[in-house]
Amino acid sequence: MNHPDFKQRVLTSEDLSLIAGGVPALDDFPGVRPWNRDKLWAAVLRAFLDARTKAEREAAQQAIGAIQALDSVELLFVRRDR
C-alpha cells in the first residue's frame, strides 16, 4: 500500500476486500471476500428490496452507504494495470 509517489493509485482489490471485511454493515454479504463489486451491490440491493422491517431497511441502507464509500476509494486509489 505504501508507495513513494503518493499520486499513484496504490490499492489492490485484495486491499478493498480487507477494508470491506472490516465494515460491520457488510458482514453477511457475498462479494466482500474476494472483492466483487457487482456481486456485493446485487446482494445489498436484493436485501434492501426484500427488507420487511424498519431495522432491515436501515441495515440495508447502511450497507449501501458503505459500498458507496468503497466505490469512491476504488475510483481514486485502486491500482489499474494498463
**Higher-scoring residue by pLDDT: 75, 41:** 41
pLDDT band for 6, please (50, 70, 90 cuts).
low
Taking residue 16's Cβ as centre, other Cβ atoms within 10 Å add up to 20
pLDDT on residue 24 = 94
pLDDT on residue 47 = 95
Distance between CA 60 and CA 37 in Å, rounded?
16
